[in-house]
Amino acid sequence: MKKIISYFLSGIVLCTALLVTPVSAAEVAPAEETITINSTVSVRATNYWTKTTTKLNSVYGTASNISTVSSGAVSGSNPQILKIEVYSRVSSGSDSFYLYVEDGNGNVNYTTVSKSGTITINDFNGFDPSGKWKIWIVTKGTVSTSTETIKVYYTC
């Protein structure tokens, strides 16, 4: 019986202590603060367009079919490419290959691809993103199969 009374009194003491605990720092009203935000509006906004090619197949060093993708309507009075990202989805068992990208004005760039992933191409920076783009592959081995998704970032 003494234990029960002892537990009961201990519980009452704890409850009383919690009720009279001082206010925490989080509950005190904050002092008035001044917040300054350094805001700069960008003169050049960024847009992008993205397209996916048909399946590209290359055998014994020959060029695959050429997949033509259109930029669609590009906004702005003087749009310029900031960067290009190409995601290559390479079929299993494919050999590495050269990935060729030609912009709407006939400028061509190529890079080597050996596995699925994203490649950044900066050689078109400053060029016009408009027009019909051509993408194809050429295997470095026996056979390569891939699908490409191109994403062109540009200013407007």
Q: Tell me how far apart the alpha carbons of residues 54 and 11 are, in angstroms, rounded to a whole number.
A: 74
Task: Provide the residue type at 83 as one letter.
Answer: K
Q: Tens digit of pLDDT for each residue in 29-77? A: 555 544 444 444 344 557 999 999 999 999 999 999 999 999 999 988 8
Q: What is the pLDDT of residue 37?
A: 47
Section 101-111 average pLDDT:
97
Q: What is the pLDDT of residue 35?
A: 46
pLDDT level of residue 20 (50, 70, 90 thresholds): low
| Closest residue by Cα to residue 49 from 81, 78, 25 | 81
Q: What is the pLDDT of residue 118?
A: 98
Which comes out higher in pLDDT, residue 30 or 122? 122
pTM of structure: 0.71
% of the chain exceeding 90 in pLDDT = 67
Q: What is the pLDDT of residue 156?
A: 83
Q: What is the pLDDT of residue 25?
A: 46
How much is the mean pLDDT over the chain? Answer: 84
| Pairing mode of beta strands 143-155, 46-52 | antiparallel
pLDDT above 80: residue 15: no
| Pairing mode of beta strands 80-90, 117-121 | antiparallel
Tell the burial category of 18 from Cβ atoms under 10 Å away from its Cβ (0-12, 13-18, 19+).
exposed
Domains of the chain (ranges; CATH) run 52-155 (2.60.120.380)
pLDDT above 70: residue 18: no
